Structure 1
Amino acid sequence: MRDHEPHPGPTGQRLSTKETAELLGVKPETVYAYVSRGQLSSRRVPGGRGSTFDAKEVEGLARRNRRESSATSGTGGELSVRTRITLIDTDRYYFRGVDATELAARHSYEEVAEWLWTGQLRPGATFTAPEATVTAARRAVDAMPQHTAPTDRLRVAAIAAAAADPLRFDLSEEAVLGTARSLIPTLVAALPLARHDHRDDGPLAHRLWARLSKRTADDSSLRALDTALALLIDHDLAASTLAVRVAASARAHAYAAVSAGLGVIEGPLHGAAGGLAHKLLLEVIDQGDAAPVIADELRAGRRIPGLGHRLYSGEDPRARALFDLLEDIPGAAPALAAARDIVATTARHAPLHANVDLALGVLTASSGMPATASETIFAVARTAGWIAHALEEYEERPLRMRPSGHYVGPRPPRPLPE
């Protein structure tokens, strides 16, 4: 029997691969991709090379795809994507229905990441990477120029780790989770050490601290960094997360999807905002007053970094959670006072609240870290969220994140240019 001929079965009508592809509006090879991800079941044709599919199961998948396509298109000109990961509602946000700030206060970054990926907590979870992968990533990063930015180093580390993994194209949940648990510590291990007497083990926040500050970290500082990582794991469909989902929709492997996210956060309107807040805080501390600094920013036509958020009418809940911990850090008082001065000065004219970038700036500025440290913290933290979104997207219809262009150029036909 040929593959394009329907084959009736005892459980009802069965469809050929060709008929299934036509009903779903996809190519025949995509039908088998559905099978590999468990979204369709197939039955080999006795004595033949083709497969058949249950008509009711195919029709059910077609209906789901149509609903998902409608949900993805959104309303009001904005993209809307169904997700079970993060909800932002009434100045609070939730990971899989659980208050994210409470999770971050009670659990480590690794434990919150596991919750985001699987919906299950793994008490004491610690991420480790194969030595061969770390060596490959470090070798690639060490070959870069001395002035290279941290996000450039992270992107190169991700690419090197991918090249060292022959199983990177396995998109099963188990394989992607294995990638996530080794990729995140690889990214950290590939960054140059600020403290060379550091033992590279223990919680991820401890390993990351040694790459951001030459100071010996006290318990309060380590707790603040670990909490910051957990708070920043995900935040709905931010620009970098959308890039990750587009890559995953095209079935790019997890390393490539993370690389897409890393490419987006370098923009000043996304991952770099904490560094701008860091510099603003140092300037306020140097001048002893926020008013002239804010005036200079506004005169130059720049928005004040660390203030306001389009998703929160009140204070960013991530900022409040982090500010509470920063109160316990020795030496953080000047940066905290500068942050309060910035908020109070701008509040005279605009009802803007502190966001997490300002809190991150206080953490980095008071811990002897460079201004780029907040971008590194953001990137490492968000990698776990990107993996969660990639996992979710791998379960969806391939290439659904493919909008149609609205052409506004000259209408054809036009003569060939001379």
Structure 2
Amino acid sequence: MTDQEPGTPARAGRRLSTRETADLLGVKAETVYAYVSRGQLSSRRDPGGRGSSFDAAEVEALARRNRRDSGGSSADGGELSVRTRITLIDEGRYYYRGVDATRLATDHSYEEVAEWLWTGRLCPGVTFTAPRPAVDAARRAVEALPEHSGPTDRLRVAAIAASAVDPLRFDLSESAVLGSARALVPTLVDALPAKRHDHRDEGPLAHRLWPRLTGRTPDKASLRVLDTALGLLADHDLAASTLAVRVAASARAHPYAAVSAGLGVLEGPLHGAAGGLAHRLLLDVLDHGTAAPVVADELRAGRRVPGLGHRLYPGEDPRARTLFALLEEMPDAAPALAAARDVVTTTARHTPLHANVDLALAVFTVSSGMSASAAETLFAVARTPGWIAHALEEYGEPPLRMRPSGRYVGLRPPQPLPECAP
């Protein structure tokens, strides 16, 4: 068996056996010969006529071509790469369908951003209405959960309950999926328990989400921050949860199931919990009056300081930059803003990391009297339109293209049957 990694240049004239060729291409031996019959590979009979061999360079060229054409692994054998027209992250900025996402989220409502992601059209003044049967079913399901259930638990259960009352959920045509999407997003919001008795299940989604996050009375500046944050977080290329959504959509799971897959990954501590960790960090800084001892405790424990750095932005996270500018206008945000700046300044003595969107969200949630879990709720609701946009895009691709082949590294068969322990 070859130990050469895919994408590693082959030595000139090197020949591969049928098994080695099949392993490198990630297919069965029968498929290798199908490539030969279609003229995509050339073979040569081995001396003695016991089998065929294949030119290694030709095989690797076909493997690279297959990965590129299927939207799978990148040509250099590195990270997974998927064709998409939704979001581009480039040189410290990001774009929704070619439009600067920060400008779009600042100048347009969350619902308008969602429509742009789904259709590539701006629909000024668009609002989403949740069907009454879907909201009732989702609320009953959410209310049945234990009191300590987290926000992602509630949203995932709400999505499943809403799907059960949508008879068109298995229709994956664009019009049907968009109809489900425009119903699901407000259903998720309206299904969450409210912290204020005067909440309304109509109007802009940011206004409807606010009383689900805090019992405080909102002001105009705070609602603008919330609405803009929802738009900024609507999509961000192939984050782990979005990849899960595309895998589900590749298997032709309906949009509710695809969103549920995204929520399942979001609940992981390395994805959706970051905003809550930054929230608790800011509360500690405010309690101590300075960031120094708090940052020291994080580093002493071997943890990364929450809310700093992003693998896609070597400089400042554009989402954080946009939110920090709007947070300046919030009447109660000054203390938390000062604490966040203290964290960045203190940490810069150790490593020059910039604030990311989680730190900006933490300033917002702390300043608005929200719990640490509010950022996770906000993030999940915000990302749902992006997940649906990716599901829609994936429905237009060949099915099951997101099914990579495993590279088996275990014992080669045949192995003796294991003996039962006495």
TM-score by length of 2: 0.83
The 1:162/1:70 distance shift into structure 2, 3 A limit, reads: closer
> In 1, Cα distance between the equivalents of 2:77 and 2:408?
19
C-alpha deviations, 1:210-263, integer Å up to 9, x for none? Answer: 100000000000000000000000000000000000000000000000000000
Q: Mapping of 1:261-410 within 5 angstroms?
A: 261-410=262-411
Kept in 2, the 8 Å contact 1:140–1:160? The answer is yes
Q: Secondary structure of the equivalent of 2:88?
A: strand
Q: CA deviation at 1:394?
A: 0.3
The 1:127/1:67 distance shift into structure 2, 3 A limit, reads: same
Q: Mapping of 1:7-406 within 5 angstroms?
A: 69-74=69-74, 75-406=76-407
C-alpha deviations, 1:257-283, integer Å up to 9, x for none? Answer: 000000001112211100000000000
Q: Which position in structure 1 is the counterpart of 2:5?
A: none
Q: Which position in structure 1 is the counterpart of 2:54?
A: none
> In 1, Cα distance between the equivalents of 2:264 and 2:70?
28
Q: CA deviation at 1:70?
A: 4.6
> In 1, Cα distance between the equivalents of 2:399 and 2:345?
49
Q: Secondary structure of the equivalent of 2:405?
A: coil
Kept in 2, the 8 Å contact 1:116–1:385? The answer is yes
C-alpha deviations, 1:92-146, integer Å up to 9, x for none? Answer: 0000000000001100000000001100000001111110110000011111111
Identify the range of structure 1 (79-88 vs 404-413) with the bigger mean alpha-carbon deviation.
Answer: 404-413
> In 2, Cα distance between the equivalents of 1:171 and 1:200?
28
Kept in 1, the 8 Å contact 2:72–2:404? The answer is no
Q: Which runs of 5+ in 1 are unaligned?
A: 1-21, 26-64
> In 2, Cα distance between the equivalents of 1:114 and 1:298?
42
Q: CA deviation at 1:67?
A: 7.6
> In 1, Cα distance between the equivalents of 2:136 and 2:70?
45
> In 1, Cα distance between the equivalents of 2:180 and 2:416?
52
Kept in 1, the 8 Å contact 2:71–2:401? The answer is no
The 1:156/1:293 distance shift into structure 2, 3 A limit, reads: same
Q: Secondary structure of the equivalent of 1:361?
A: helix
> In 2, Cα distance between the equivalents of 1:252 and 1:141?
23
The 1:141/1:164 distance shift into structure 2, 3 A limit, reads: same
Q: Which position in structure 2 is the counterpart of 1:36?
A: none
Counterpart of 1:188, as a letter, is V
> In 1, Cα distance between the equivalents of 2:352 and 2:70?
37
Q: CA deviation at 1:66?
A: 5.5
Counterpart of 1:269, as a letter, is L
C-alpha deviations, 1:186-206, integer Å up to 9, x for none? Answer: 001110001012222210000
C-alpha deviations, 1:131-175, integer Å up to 9, x for none? Answer: 011000001111111111010000000000011111100000000
Q: Which position in structure 1 is the counterpart of 2:26?
A: none
> In 1, Cα distance between the equivalents of 2:195 and 2:417?
59
C-alpha deviations, 1:17-45, integer Å up to 9, x for none? Answer: xxxxx9xx9xxxxxxxxxxxxxxxxxxxx
Q: CA deviation at 1:391?
A: 0.3
Post-superposition, which runs of at least 4 consecutive aligned residues in structure 1 deviate over 4 A?
A: 65-68
> In 1, Cα distance between the equivalents of 2:355 and 2:414?
54
Kept in 2, the 8 Å contact 1:284–1:290? The answer is yes
> In 2, Cα distance between the equivalents of 1:289 and 1:73?
46
Q: Which position in structure 1 is the counterpart of 2:9?
A: none
> In 2, Cα distance between the equivalents of 1:73 and 1:313?
24
Kept in 2, the 8 Å contact 1:209–1:222? The answer is yes
> In 1, Cα distance between the equivalents of 2:70 and 2:395?
18
Q: Which position in structure 2 is the counterpart of 1:55?
A: none
> In 2, Cα distance between the equivalents of 1:311 and 1:400?
25
> In 2, Cα distance between the equivalents of 1:404 and 1:285?
50
> In 2, Cα distance between the equivalents of 1:211 and 1:154?
12
C-alpha deviations, 1:319-374, integer Å up to 9, x for none? Answer: 00000010111111110000000000011121100000000000001101000000
> In 2, Cα distance between the equivalents of 1:164 and 1:412?
49
> In 1, Cα distance between the equivalents of 2:302 and 2:169?
45
> In 2, Cα distance between the equivalents of 1:70 and 1:229?
32
Q: CA deviation at 1:409?
A: 1.3
Kept in 2, the 8 Å contact 1:69–1:400? The answer is no
Counterpart of 2:73, as a letter, is S
Q: Which runs of 5+ in 2 are unaligned?
A: 1-30, 35-64
TM-score by length of 1: 0.84
Q: Which position in structure 1 is the counterpart of 2:49?
A: none
Counterpart of 2:323, as a letter, is L
Q: Secondary structure of the equivalent of 2:368?
A: coil
C-alpha deviations, 1:171-190, integer Å up to 9, x for none? Answer: 00000000110000000111
Q: CA deviation at 1:411?
A: 1.6
Q: Secondary structure of the equivalent of 2:72?
A: helix
> In 2, Cα distance between the equivalents of 1:162 and 1:417?
45
Identity of aligned residues (%): 78
CA RMSD, aligned part only? Answer: 1.3
Q: Secondary structure of the equivalent of 1:88?
A: strand
Kept in 1, the 8 Å contact 2:70–2:401? The answer is no
